[in-house]
Structure 1
């Protein structure tokens, strides 16, 4: 069976740099045969091994005032180019750190399987950073969303909650430990974050980066774009800056040393 991986890109936030590195991480950690398809609005600069396809049409006005990534609803279409059967969707900002074969072996081909969202431990909520679904199975969700996008977004806030609660036949979760959250599973607690680099979680297959912290940041030793890369002393001095964005203790917790293992995994080679 050919393993089918898809991703999506629109606008200029990510682009070829992220697409090409995600492909390389997949290629290093999967048993062929596999395909890698990117649905995008601009194929320029994307490496030739990546199959590019136009964004699936979604002729609706996107909801406002919500944190969900609702343009992902394009992937719920009846057709995705000429792909058939199960596809594995991967966010562009994740890093592959282990073998991906299990994501195609878990469950049954007709299953919708998501990562468990760690930010809501008391809610059975899926995380759509990496999830598998059969092409066309989520069409009922797309039809409901298109009927009133703003109402759906207002009710569910996040597209992953909408998928979790409404996927036909329900959803399943990946085994615990396969999908790890950088800020929750890799960063060190204060004050160890000033002395030890972020850890690579044992047994992880992918590491996801929600919340504005991205692979280039942590490779450079930067929690996010608002923090310095000039080392622990410069970070500590920033505690006394009038431009500091976070409360003092949160600011101190948000220092990280460079994560070399992320740099090794997030490589285009």
Structure 2
């Protein structure tokens, strides 16, 4: 039984993302499989999804400007009624190929993360898509519970904490299997002005960390101006968002629509 899990809290994502992720998984996995969503609200979620309450954790999840830590709920000795290996998927990723190999790759007792191209000089994994045995991360959760804010401050990102503290160390999935949209699919400037984001043949999952979402890949433009053409993008230079910094950075923040993203990101 292949076990896929996700987590949902609050109102940022909700049923449309959960239902869409289930559909993408179902199209790209060989049965039997089980899809479990740990969530604070079961309403509107399709019946094929096994909904379970958010795992309890005896501390308040720290809120910082950069890191996001609610996945710490998944690290306990128990995870609902699941046992064995689980494959975690973020709600805002796109499944583009078979997930089967992500269950059979490597040591079944090891924590296996996606590669993080944003930190090329630091061997750090990415937890947008990662596999772990239920209960394996319990010692790590104990460290976190002892002082959540200190852990969040020291490590900044949850994936760095997992990378450095997973019992027995980590392994990484093959480079092409999980691709980071901004760093690995988007053509380098200025080619992003004329070439659509690319998808390698062996890619199974495309992840969207850093505030760029699948809607950007599908409609083109950039965050906050999805659907902009290149002409729209250039006309908007005088009104460019302050958060994007320099003109150079703004010019790099453009993408043409990706047909493969629109085809895959659907129920």
The answer on whether the counterparts of 1:187 and 1:199 sit within 8 Å (CA) in structure 2 is yes
After TM superposition, the score normalised by the length of structure 1 is: 0.95
| Distance apart, 1:38 and its partner CA | 0.2
In 2, Cα distance between equivalents of 1:139 and 1:35:
23
1:40-86 Cα deviation digits (max 9, x unpaired): 01111111111100000123122233522211000001111111010
1:3-55 Cα deviation digits (max 9, x unpaired): 00000000111111111111111111111000000000111111111110000
Give the number of aligned pairs: 266
Would the alpha carbon gap of residues 150 and 136 (structure 1) be closer, same or farther in structure 2, given more than 3 Å must change? same
Aligned to 1:154: 153
| Distance apart, 1:242 and its partner CA | 6.4
1:213-251 Cα deviation digits (max 9, x unpaired): 1012221113212x2523111110011226554311211
Aligned to 1:230: 228
Paired residues for 1:71-150 under 5 Å? 71-150=70-149
Segments of 5+ residues of structure 1 without an aligned counterpart are: none
The answer on whether the counterparts of 2:17 and 2:92 sit within 8 Å (CA) in structure 1 is yes
In 2, Cα distance between equivalents of 1:34 and 1:107:
19
Would the alpha carbon gap of residues 66 and 101 (structure 1) be closer, same or farther in structure 2, given more than 3 Å must change? same
Aligned to 2:205: 206
Over the aligned positions, Cα root-mean-square deviation in angstroms equals: 1.4
The answer on whether the counterparts of 1:38 and 1:52 sit within 8 Å (CA) in structure 2 is yes
Would the alpha carbon gap of residues 34 and 236 (structure 1) be closer, same or farther in structure 2, given more than 3 Å must change? same
The answer on whether the counterparts of 2:215 and 2:226 sit within 8 Å (CA) in structure 1 is no
In 2, Cα distance between equivalents of 1:228 and 1:262:
14
The answer on whether the counterparts of 1:185 and 1:201 sit within 8 Å (CA) in structure 2 is no
In 2, Cα distance between equivalents of 1:243 and 1:266:
28
After TM superposition, the score normalised by the length of structure 2 is: 0.95
Segments of 5+ residues of structure 2 without an aligned counterpart are: none
Q: Helix, strand or coil: the match of 1:172?
A: strand
